């Protein structure tokens, strides 16, 4: 959800105002997902690198996270949204950790949209932690080196209970991955809207999904038509 700070700066506001405006967009996007056939939505809220930002901005973000959870907990439950968090939550402020646990518990039985929030999350960090888990089992003798597989690796990740993403959207026109779902996104399609996150609404999401659905996903294979075309060219 990139571009909150830039959106605010362009309007003569402080960066926290941009993050607050961005938080308001979350509800609109969450509400739009079911009508678009989206069953799982993952939002990158705070990265492992974001701790390096100015202290006032980090504290402001933590305050926004707390306010969002308090204000939206009952609404998310009422709309049958199950919320999960991934990342290094134990490094977050205690009050925020408690709210995260409350929100997960409150929505645990919900059967609608699965909303995952990545907070204090980094793709490389997640992979390292997964390798450590598997290494402990290896040292304990409960598994052998030959047992290690892609499936085992996936089960050791924060996203073990989730499907791999089909589509990743990064707003603000930036065209880099920035340490997000590195293992899981191996075959994801990407869309890079040039607008900032506070401007990304339901219509923008619908446009991104339409773009995704217009693409042919081969997963490393070759379609029959492409294969025939190449064969014809060879002759």
Q: What is the pLDDT of residue 215?
A: 94
218: confidence class by pLDDT, cuts 50, 70, 90: confident
Q: How many CB atoms lie within 10 A of CB 193?
A: 20
Q: What is the pLDDT of residue 221?
A: 77
Q: What is the pLDDT of residue 9?
A: 95
Q: What is the pLDDT of residues 63-98, one digit of tens each?
A: 999 999 999 999 999 999 999 999 999 999 999 999
Q: Average pLDDT of 32-41?
A: 97
Q: Is the pLDDT of residue 224 over 70?
A: no
Structural domains present in the chain: 4-234 (3.40.1180.10)
Q: What is the pLDDT of residue 230?
A: 38
**For the purposes of burial, counting CB atoms within 10 Å of the CB of 110, is it exposed (0-12), middle (13-18) or buried (19 or more)?**
middle
228: confidence class by pLDDT, cuts 50, 70, 90: very low
Question: Cα(170)–Cα(160) distance, rounded to whole angstroms?
Answer: 23
Choose, from 50, 137, 164, 211, the residue flagged as catalytic: 50
Q: What is the pLDDT of residue 223?
A: 65
The DSSP call for residue 163 is: P
Q: Is the pLDDT of residue 134 over 60?
A: yes
Q: Is the pLDDT of residue 28 over 80?
A: yes
Encode 169-209 in three state secondary structure: ECCCCCCCCCCCCCCCCCCCEEECCCCCHHHCCHHHHHHHH
Q: Any catalytic annotation for residue 50?
A: yes
Whole-model pTM: value is: 0.90
Kindly report the average pLDDT of the chain as a whole number. 93
Q: What is the pLDDT of residues 139-188, one digit of tens each?
A: 999 999 999 999 999 999 999 999 999 999 999 999 999 999 999 999 99
Q: Any catalytic annotation for residue 196?
A: no
Q: How many residues does the chain have?
A: 235
Q: Average pLDDT of 20-49?
A: 97
Q: Average pLDDT of 206-231?
A: 75
Q: Average pLDDT of 212-221?
A: 87
Q: What is the pLDDT of residue 181?
A: 98
Q: Average pLDDT of 199-225?
A: 88
Token representation of residue 234: 């060879």
């Amino acid at each position: 959800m990139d571009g909150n700070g830039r959106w605010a700066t362009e309007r003569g506001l402080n960066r926290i105002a941009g993050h607050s405006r961005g938080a308001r967009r979350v509800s609109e996007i969450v509400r739009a997902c079911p009508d678009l056939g989206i069953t799982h939505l993952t939002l990158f809220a705070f990265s492992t690198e974001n701790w390096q930002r100015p202290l006032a901005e980090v504290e402001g973000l933590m305050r926004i996270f707390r306010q969002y959870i308090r204000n939206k907990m009952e609404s998310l439950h009422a709309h049958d949204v199950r919320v999960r968090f991934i990342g290094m939550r134990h490094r977050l402020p205690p009050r925020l950790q408690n709210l995260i646990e409350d929100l997960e518990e409150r929505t645990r039985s919900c059967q609608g949209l699965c909303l995952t929030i990545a907070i204090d999350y980094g793709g490389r960090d997640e992979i390292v932690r997964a390798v450590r888990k598997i290494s402990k089992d290896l040292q304990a003798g409960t598994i052998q080196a030959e047992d290690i597989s892609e499936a085992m690796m996936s089960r050791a990740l924060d996203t073990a209970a989730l499907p791999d993403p089909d589509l990743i959207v990064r707003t603000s026109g930036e065209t880099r991955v920035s340490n997000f779902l590195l293992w899981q996104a191996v075959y994801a399609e990407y869309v890079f809207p040039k607008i900032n996150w506070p401007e990304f609404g339901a219509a923008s999401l619908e446009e991104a999904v339409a773009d995704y659905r217009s693409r042919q996903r081969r997963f490393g294979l070759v379609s029959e038509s492409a294969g025939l075309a190449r064969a014809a060219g060879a002759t």
